[in-house]
Amino acid sequence: MKKFISDIPSHDASVNPIEDYSKAKKFRYVSIGDHYFFYRWLLFMIRYIPIKNIARCYIRVDTCVSGCCVAVPFDSKSLVLVTDNGKHKKLWLDDRSVLNSIIEELKQKNNNMTIGYVQKTVQGNEHPRHLEGTS
């Protein structure tokens, strides 16, 4: 049995998140219903955010360069959601086509949302998660 946990309390009690999840469109570990954005968290938990509370949404690409003698850069792609109260949610999804599909679906559900793209370069032993919240 899945447990649903809200990231932001919804003031609209008429919409049941479980019913919205059952009709939601699936994108790998993410599902988008008519009213909520859902993502898997841990093993049996589903977290959700009301779509109307998402103020910004962007794809973030972190280019990581190792610090050893053979520097082989690699990209780490993630979806970043920023809610209207300033809370950031970063979800690693490496498939660019899935990320684009998620953004298109969110754009249809909330046309007030700002859409964007950010690229960062991480040098040496740094890890992209140390840069969370920066954009």
- Location of structure tokens 């968290």: 41
CATH architecture label of 3-126: Roll (2.30)
- Specify the pLDDT at position 126: 53
- Specify the pLDDT at position 135: 41
Rounded to an integer, what distance in angstroms lies between the CA atom of residue 107 and that of residue 45? 25
- Specify the pLDDT at position 130: 45
Rounded to an integer, what distance in angstroms lies between the CA atom of residue 93 and that of residue 72? 21
- Specify the pLDDT at position 57: 93
Residues of the chain with pLDDT under 50: 128-135
- Specify the pLDDT at position 134: 44
Rounded to an integer, what distance in angstroms lies between the CA atom of residue 23 and that of residue 2? 15
- Specify the pLDDT at position 28: 83
